[in-house]
Amino acid sequence: MICPCQDKSATNARLYEDCCESKHKGLTKAQSAEELMRSRYSAFFLGLGKYIFDTHHADFRNGTVEDYTASAQSTNWCRLEVLESEQLESNDKVNFKAYFFEKDKLHCMHEISNFVLEANQWFYTDGEYQPKTVEKIARNDQCPCQSGLKAKKCHLLI
Ligand SMILES: [Zn+2]
Ligand SMILES: [Zn+2]
């Protein structure tokens, strides 16, 4: 499958096994804040609470691995759009939009996330939330995840 963090309509979209999987399995580490952000989104998409927990800086966590897993698994994530990442020395920001469905409504969560590099490992710390938007998606519309399928055959399974 195309990695959940990738733009599905792009011709150079990478497969999960060539993108976030090795990070989720602990075989490689994210090389940048944006890579970590993408792998965290993919972990949310796949319900991998432990990865989300482990990559959230210990000083900023709110909940247990079980809480993170429950939150990830109960959300119908749809698409990630990275708007820009700003590289500072050891403290980067990534500006992104993450989309998820609740029934037939597409929610857009817009966040500017902060990341910190510690002992050669990137961690998410916290984020500044931008105003959320909600859009109703009709069953016959193209699915916003860019799969090319109608929403009713894809993320809008209600
Ligand atoms: Zn990925
Ligand atoms: Zn979809």
Examine residue 59 and state whether it is found in any structural domain, yes or no.
yes
Residue 9 CA, ligand 2 centroid: distance in Å: 12
Give me the residues near ligand 1 (ion), CB cutoff below 5 Å: 3, 5, 19-20, 38, 42
Query: Of the bound ligands, which one is closest to the alpha carbon of residue 141?
Result: 2
Q: Is the pLDDT of residue 158 over 70?
A: no
Query: What pLDDT is stored for residue 85 in this prediction?
Result: 82
* 27-85: pLDDT as tens digits: 999 999 999 999 999 999 999 999 999 999 999 999 999 999 999 999 999 999 999 88
Examine residue 38 and state whether it is found in any structural domain, yes or no.
yes
Residue 49 CA, ligand 1 centroid: distance in Å: 16
Q: How many domains does the chain have?
A: 1
What is the chain written as a DSSP string? -B-TTS-TTSTTPPBGGGTTHHHHTTSS--SSHHHHHHHHHHHHHHT-HHHHHHTB-TTT--S-HHHHHHHHHTSEEEEEEEEEEE--SSEEEEEEEEEEEETTEEEEEEEEEEEEEETTEEEEEEEEEPPPEEEE--TTSBPTT-SSSBGGGTT---
Residue 100 CA, ligand 2 centroid: distance in Å: 10
Examine residue 20 and state whether it is found in any structural domain, yes or no.
yes
Q: What percent of the chain has pLDDT over 70?
A: 97
Residue 151 CA, ligand 1 centroid: distance in Å: 22
Examine residue 71 and state whether it is found in any structural domain, yes or no.
yes
pTM of the model: 0.93
Examine residue 34 and state whether it is found in any structural domain, yes or no.
yes
Of 147 and 86, more confident: 147
Average pLDDT over the chain reads 93
Examine residue 109 and state whether it is found in any structural domain, yes or no.
yes
Query: Of the bound ligands, which one is closest to the alpha carbon of residue 149?
Result: 2
Q: Given pLDDT bands bounded at 50, 70 and 90, which one contains residue 87?
A: confident
Give me the domain span that covers residue 124. Answer: 16-153
Q: Which CATH number fits the domain that encloses residue 95?
A: 3.10.450.50
Of 91 and 47, more confident: 47
Examine residue 81 and state whether it is found in any structural domain, yes or no.
yes
